């Protein structure tokens, strides 16, 4: 009788364990503290600014193309094709070019925060936004009476953030706009997986020779939008840590709670347990 009672108790405990593992996870939804009448003060917008090492595309245009071209760096394409050299190939040296740059080479910002601009010479550009840099160069061109009607277009090249961890498509994503929030970066990465921790998203930032780490809670809007890590800067790393269930689910042989191999192992174990207990009951 005791053996039967033990068998019943064990099976009930295993059933409770399985049901517990299948219950709806908590803390999955974002912005759980918001309602239609909530007004939350956000951190000040942090647009992307020029930093040493950045690649910049700066294009000057005017009605007189001959004059404006004096202020645009020429670019040499790296191509291998028929003709041009003894071996039948054409080979030219290449400078960095990005799509949409109209064939204009990029400027690399020096460690001192400067660029060497045609005719104008050395310009200190570190700390400027795209619009500020555009206005600065336009003012210099007009102030020195070099171009009467310049239009200056500035773009950041090879500037992005890394999104790592428990997201659908981790990787590096370009910052093709003046400001980028952590939510937009996560969206670019396909959103968090269900097992990603929404309460413990890390933003790592290198600035002035120091590494800053910000912990963001995506379920709490009030704290999220006030964090210095809400607006991302070039070079930031966003890391989403998997939850404890996902960590425990990982096994040495690579199986996890979502794999066929894992559930085959569980079924085999349950079968062995039931068979063993049945033998004891018969005795």
**What would the two tokens of residue 93 be?**
């040296």
What span, in angstroms and rounded, lies between the C-alpha atoms of 142 and 57?
20
What span, in angstroms and rounded, lies between the C-alpha atoms of 136 and 252?
58
Same domain, 175 and 241: yes
**What would the two tokens of residue 258 be?**
């979502």
pLDDT of residue 129: 94
Same domain, 141 and 74: yes
What span, in angstroms and rounded, lies between the C-alpha atoms of 123 and 7?
81
Could you tell me which residues are beta bridge partners of residue 160? 174
What span, in angstroms and rounded, lies between the C-alpha atoms of 6 and 161?
56
Among 97, 101, 102, 136, CA closest to 117: 136
- 3-state SS of 8-43? HHHHHHHHHHHHHHCCCCCCCCCCCCCCCCCCCCCC
Contact 104, 117 (CB under 8 A): no
Same domain, 173 and 240: yes
What span, in angstroms and rounded, lies between the C-alpha atoms of 95 and 283?
84
CATH of the domain at 212: 3.10.560.10
How far apart are the two ends of the chain, measured CA to CA in Å?
A: 11
- Whether residue 140 lies inside any domain: the answer is yes
Could you tell me which residues are beta bridge partners of residue 192? 167
Verdict on whether the full-model pTM lies above 0.75 = no
- Whether residue 35 lies inside any domain: the answer is no
Could you write out the DSSP letters of every residue in 38-80?
---PPPPP------TT-EEEEEEE-S-HHHHGGGS--------
**What would the two tokens of residue 88 be?**
């039948």
**Domain boundary, last residue among 133, 157, 181:** 157
Same domain, 66 and 101: yes
pLDDT of residue 31: 74
Same domain, 136 and 164: no
Same domain, 126 and 205: no
- Whether residue 173 lies inside any domain: the answer is yes
**Domain boundary, last residue among 110, 141, 157:** 157
Same domain, 147 and 192: no
User: Which single residue is written with the structure tokens 């062995």?
Assistant: 272
**Domain boundary, last residue among 115, 141, 157:** 157
Same domain, 107 and 199: no
Same domain, 120 and 169: no
- Whether residue 263 lies inside any domain: the answer is no
Which residues constitute the domain of residue 59? 55-157
**What would the two tokens of residue 58 be?**
């700066």
Same domain, 151 and 217: no
What span, in angstroms and rounded, lies between the C-alpha atoms of 270 and 13?
12
- Whether residue 28 lies inside any domain: the answer is no
Q: How many domains does the chain have?
A: 2
Handedness of CA 45, 51, 56, 62 (dihedral sign): positive
pLDDT of residue 159: 85
Same domain, 128 and 92: yes
- Whether residue 103 lies inside any domain: the answer is yes
Same domain, 69 and 145: yes
Strands 160-165 and 237-242: parallel
Q: 238 by DSSP, 3-state: which?
A: strand
pLDDT (tens digit per residue) in 133-190: 999 999 999 999 999 999 999 999 878 999 999 999 999 999 878 899 999 999 999 9
- Whether residue 187 lies inside any domain: the answer is yes
- Whether residue 180 lies inside any domain: the answer is yes
CATH of the domain at 87: 3.30.1950.10
Cα 178 versus chain centre, distance = 15
pLDDT of residue 74: 76
Which residue stretches of the chain have pLDDT < 70? Answer: 1-27, 33, 75-104, 244-283
What span, in angstroms and rounded, lies between the C-alpha atoms of 181 and 162?
13
């Amino acid at each position: 009788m005791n053996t039967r009672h033990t068998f019943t108790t064990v099976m009930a405990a295993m059933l409770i364990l399985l049901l517990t593992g299948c219950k709806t996870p908590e803390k999955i939804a974002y912005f759980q503290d918001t309602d239609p009448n909530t007004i939350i003060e956000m951190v000040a917008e942090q647009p992307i600014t020029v930093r040493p090492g950045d690649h910049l595309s700066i294009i000057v245009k005017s009605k007189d193309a001959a004059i404006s071209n004096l202020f645009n760096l020429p670019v040499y394409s790296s191509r291998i094709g028929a003709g041009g050299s003894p071996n039948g190939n054409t080979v030219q040296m290449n400078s960095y070019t990005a799509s949409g740059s109209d064939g204009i080479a990029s400027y690399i910002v020096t460690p001192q925060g400067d660029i060497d601009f045609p005719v104008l010479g050395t310009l200190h550009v570190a700390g400027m936004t795209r619009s500020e840099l555009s206005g600065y160069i336009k003012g210099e061109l007009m102030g020195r009476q070099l171009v009467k009607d310049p239009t200056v277009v500035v773009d950041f090249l090879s500037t992005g953030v890394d999104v790592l961890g428990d997201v659908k498509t981790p990787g590096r994503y370009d910052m093709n706009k003046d400001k980028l929030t952590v939510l937009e970066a996560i969206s670019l990465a396909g959103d968090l997986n269900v097992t990603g921790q929404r309460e413990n998203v890390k933003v790592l930032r290198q600035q002035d020779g120091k590494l800053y780490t910000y912990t963001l809670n995506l379920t709490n809007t009030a704290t999220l939008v006030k964090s210095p890590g809400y607006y991302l800067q070039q070079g930031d790393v966003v890391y989403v840590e998997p939850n404890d269930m996902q960590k425990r689910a990982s096994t040495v042989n690579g199986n996890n709670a979502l794999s066929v191999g894992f559930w085959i192992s569980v079924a085999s174990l349950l079968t062995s347990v039931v068979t063993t207990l049945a033998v004891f009951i018969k005795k």
